[in-house]
Amino acid sequence: MQIIERSRVFNGHYKVNQLIVQDGDKQLKREQFAPGKAVAALVYDTARQVYVLTRQFRIGPEAEILEIAAGMIDGDEAPETAVRREIHEELGYEVDKLEKIVDMWPSPGTSSELITVYYAEVSDKTGEGGGLAEENENIEMVELSWKALVSEPLQDAKTVLAVQWVRLRK
C-alpha cells in the first residue's frame, strides 16, 4: 500500500486528513485523525513514596478518566522537554529522573498520533499543578500507593502500559 494523495479535510482543535491509498489496482479513501505527537509519564514521588496520576474529563469516553500525566509536544520541542513541562503544569513537580519506556501508536488504524511514554521520579514539588487555566484544564491530582495503583481498574491504554512496565521491574 502507498499513500498517493493527502488533504486536510478538518482543521479545528484537532486535524483530520483524507488519504488516497493505492492498494494494487485499487484506490481507497481513508480518513486519518492527526492530533500530533504527545508525551506521557507515570510519575513516582520518591520522597512520599506515592504514584501521582491525573483525573480529568476526556472527550473520547465522555467521562473523567484516571491516567498518567500527558500532553502534546509543542512544535519542534524535544519529547523530554515536553514531558518535563507537562509534569510541572499538571502535577507541580520538577523531574529528578526520567526514563523512556516506549514510543507507541495508541490507535494506528485511524490515528497518526505518536505518544512517547516515560517513567519519571520526582521529589520536589515547586508548583500547584492542576493544569493551565488558559488551556481550560481542570486536572485533579491523585496520589496512589503501589498497592492501590495495581488494584485500580485502569481504562487508559498508555496508563496500563506504564503500570505494567513498572510491574515487570518491581
Residue 113 counted as an annotated binding residue? no
φ, ψ (nearest 5 deg) of residue 13: -55, -40
3-state SS class at 132: coil
Residue 137 counted as an annotated binding residue? yes
152 CB-near residues (< 8 Å, 6+ apart) = 66, 144
Cβ atoms of residues 159 and 42 within 8 Å = yes
- Name the grid cell of 86: 507537562
**Dihedral sign for Cα atoms in the order 64, 65, 69, 75:** negative
**Residue positions forming the annotated binding site for Mg(2+):** 70, 86, 90, 137
**Residue positions forming the annotated binding site:** 70, 86, 90, 137
